[in-house]
Structure 1
């Protein structure tokens, strides 16, 4: 993490978040079915699809939020790009 203090200034406690992930990891893992390729804590999830018509298929999904961009968009009365930003962040998280 480059600058944890910026997250802290915004009210985000990275250490507490990491501790929560550590504590719930076993509970989350108990829900995994065959095909789950990633653990909790990443920006995206990977799932191998068991479909006969595909050779080693993998389903990739991601979810994100636009955060404070909504506040800025509201102040500027410009909401046109929020959806674009949201899709771009999800795609970027998958590509990382």
Structure 2
């Protein structure tokens, strides 16, 4: 079985890096921030009239191993669409 570490992903190193920047990241928060570091998406209070407690949720993602498949197939025309689909209305 392949592990994340075998694939080059070091979750412990990620956790250590996030712990080092946690307070720096929090220092940038404004009153509208509703989520903390590590959430699936960044949530922000959206001040607008006519909607009950609207929240803007933003996230970023990557196409992951689909890029390896694209290179192996010599076809990259679907990668951009996949990236947009991962990030918009997810």
Which runs of structure 2 are paired with 1:61-76 in the superposition (5 Å)?
61-76=58-73
Give the distance between the partners of 1:53 and 1:68, measured in 2 at CA: 42
Q: Which runs of 5+ in 2 are unaligned?
A: none
2:42 is aligned to 45
- Compute the displacement of 1:86 (Å): 2.3
- Compute the displacement of 1:81 (Å): 2.8
1:26 is aligned to 23
Q: CA RMSD in A?
A: 2.3
Deviations 1:57-91, CA, capped at 9 Å, x for gaps: 10011111113322320220222332343244336
| Matched position secondary structure for 2:16 | helix
Task: Normalising by structure 2, report the TM-score.
Answer: 0.80
| Matched position secondary structure for 2:44 | strand
- Compute the displacement of 1:15 (Å): 0.8
Q: Which runs of 5+ in 1 are unaligned?
A: none
Per chain length, whose mean CA-contact separation is higher, i.e. which structure has more relative contact order (CA < 8 Å, sep 6+)? 1
Q: Please identify which structure carries the higher helix content.
A: 1
Deviations 1:26-78, CA, capped at 9 Å, x for gaps: 11011001111111122311111112232211001111111332232022022
Aligned residues: 90
